[in-house]
Amino acid sequence: MLLFADPRPLVERLGREFFRQAPKGAGVYLMRDAAGAVLYVGKAKNLRQRLASYRVANPDRLARQQLRLLRAVARIELEEENLVPTTPSFHAPLLPPPAPPILFLGTIARL
C-alpha cells in the first residue's frame, strides 16, 4: 500500500488525452524542453505503448537521469513513420559527432 502516489509530471503537463490519442503505429518522438531544445529522440514500434512507459515517474524503477529528463520535458512531438532497422537520417543532425579515439599506452579509449 502506497502512502503517496507516484508523480506523473508528463500527465500533469500534457494531459491524459495526449497519451490516449497517441498513435499505435511505429514512429519517432522528440522530447523538448520549455525553450524548444531537443532533450531526447526516441523511436518505437508502438508509440502509444512507449509513451505510456513515461507516464509514471516511479523513483524505484527509473534511473535518476530519466527522472530529471521527465521533469524537464515541456512537450513531445510525434512523427509516425515506417521504421527501418538502422537509424534514419532524421536523427543525424540531432546526434553529437563521435569522439575520436585517443591512445593511452597502447590501448584505445574513447572520451
What pTM value is reported for the model?
0.65
Q: State mean pLDDT over 49-57.
A: 86
Looking at residue 89, what is its pLDDT? Answer: 60
**What domains can you pick out in the chain, each with its CATH number?**
1-83 (3.40.1440.10)
Sign of CA dihedral 73, 16, 81, 54: positive
Q: For 11-38, how does the pLDDT look when each residue is reduced to its tens digit (9 = 90+)? A: 888 888 988 899 998 999 999 999 999 9
93: CB partners within 8 A, 6+ apart: none
CA distances (Å), origin 36, targets 11, 32, 50, 62, 75: 19, 5, 21, 24, 8
Q: Please state which of the ranges 14-23, 35-44, 47-56, 100-109 shows the lowest mean pLDDT.
A: 100-109
Q: State mean pLDDT over 69-84.
A: 84
Mean pLDDT of the chain: 79
